[in-house]
Structure 1
Amino acid sequence: MEEKDIKNLLDLYFKGECTPDEKQYLESMFDELSIHGEFDEKTIDTEAVMHRLKGKIDRQIRQGRFIRLSVMLRVAAAVFLISSVAVFFVYKRTQIDAVKYVITTVPKGQKMKLTLSDGSTVMLNAGSRIRYPEKFNSETRSVTLLDGEAFFDIKHNDEKPFVVETPGTQTQVLGTAFNVQAYQELKEVKVTVLRGKVAVKETGEHKPVLLLPDEQAIVNTATGYQSKKHINANESIGWVQGKFIFRNETLMNVALILQNSYNVKIEFKKETTKEIRFTANFNSTDSLEKILFAIAKANGITYSVKDNIVRF
């Protein structure tokens, strides 16, 4: 099917004017990617949808879900469909009252606090990126954490749930305080609840994970695997109070936090070193040298620093 044909079909679909056969064809494509029902032309957040679709296609490719056609043909069809959907909604956006979105990026070595239009607040960790509307106009209050970590303190509203999208997950609340860590390099999303109740859903076929205070959900964005555990939420959000609290964290995770906080690059000579576990407390005012020395001493490893690059 040509690109113009898919665009025309999408247009007819949302106008309710396509034939039963055309409707069945298009919805079968949506179902193949488990995305049927995610589109609403009045409230669509194109970038958030694209993040969800990319995660779904990546997982389905890894899991061998595209089997009715050749792998290459199915992947090509999926990518083409997504491109067409994106183009379609960009076009449709010019015909309706589009919501104005803001993308905020926090420089490395800094933190930033935002106040959303409903009075909810968001504290962003160093190196994080978030996308949010200037004003919440739809039935839900939705933002997209594109990369990094954020602590949300949400104003209660029974009529408008608050939704945080990340590549691979969706977190929904009514009014609560929770932390979302979604660094793209880590291939996992962690959601921790300080107050209230949260539902975390992987964008595939899994059921939502319900979280209460001092509970954390971990979602592997590559496989869709979800788990839940009890933790100290105050420790998990220690970064908000200017602390680094590492609890059995891999050095890869620790390195990512330090890279963003101190604006350095950290490399590992061996892959096995990345998986070494580390537990310690520091203040954000501590020097990088102090933290690096503690990591090396605790694990019997060495490091070097040259041209703003740390090598373990």
Structure 2
Amino acid sequence: MTEEQAKELLQKYLDKRVNPQELKKVEEWYATLNQERIELAADRKAAIGEQTLVRLQAAMRQKPKHDKVFKIQSFVRIAATVLLIITLGISIWKLNTKVKPENQVTVVTGNTDRKRITLSDGSVVLLGPSAKLCYPKAFASNNRQIALKEGEAFFEIVHQEKRPFTVHTTSGVDISVLGTSFSVKSYRASKHIEVAVVTGKVAVSNKKGNLGTLIKDEFLTYDKSAGRVAIGKTKAMTFIELAFDGASLEQVINKLQYVYSIRISLSDSALSKLKSTAVFSSRQSPEEILDIICSLHHLKFNGSKNHKTFNIYR
């Protein structure tokens, strides 16, 4: 290949006008270099390539004083320059065609380890021993998704109505919530998956559809091989803190509704702006918490016989 041909081929490659045969020739040329990949940013690579091309073109326009010596040295220099640009060009091409990996974080615990992980939305995951969790550094704007690859974890999920939270497991069982606390046991060696709700409500599903909807103090066991589901009632052994620092009564109500799977209404919408600062525990009953909050604001409340619906009034 002559210098002019090399120059023309290089320019066509940079302009993305090469045909399949020419592209193959460039790649075969590149393969002979046996160089390590140059780790530079794409914009930096492009800049270096353009600068080198300008130098190459200038070198080709120079008239040599000693024709024979120049031809040998010039050819070596130009060939090396062309090879460098082709190396950078193909590196850029490969970089642009490669799918960028997601910005994922993977946490693995040892046989006796336990880890507390705070996610970007403020949700907390308590990871048990011999567990593996994968999650993004920052959640998407319309959803929050993580994967429990192995082991047991307890989740305290921040309520965000427009961004549902989903925990994926390796067996294809997914747990979807809006804001609640629950535990998941998913071991590859076990034929069962267990989901237990401490507060709030979760939906458990797989590719075939919904497996069950759980509320406070309910658990679900799924047989992975037989596809059988069992739902039962259990006494909650784990409790979470309910802290309010200058929160509006509307925010307090929303939190209590998701924690206890109850309905709370206000007789007057103006009450929703009242501020509250207090710390409670999910160990307490909703009636006990409502009684304290209403006392702070000189309000009253009443509830239904099944303790699922409440109304706050003056």
The TM-score bracket by the shorter chain reads 0.3 to 0.5
TM-score (norm 2): 0.43
Give the TM-score normalised by structure 1.
0.44
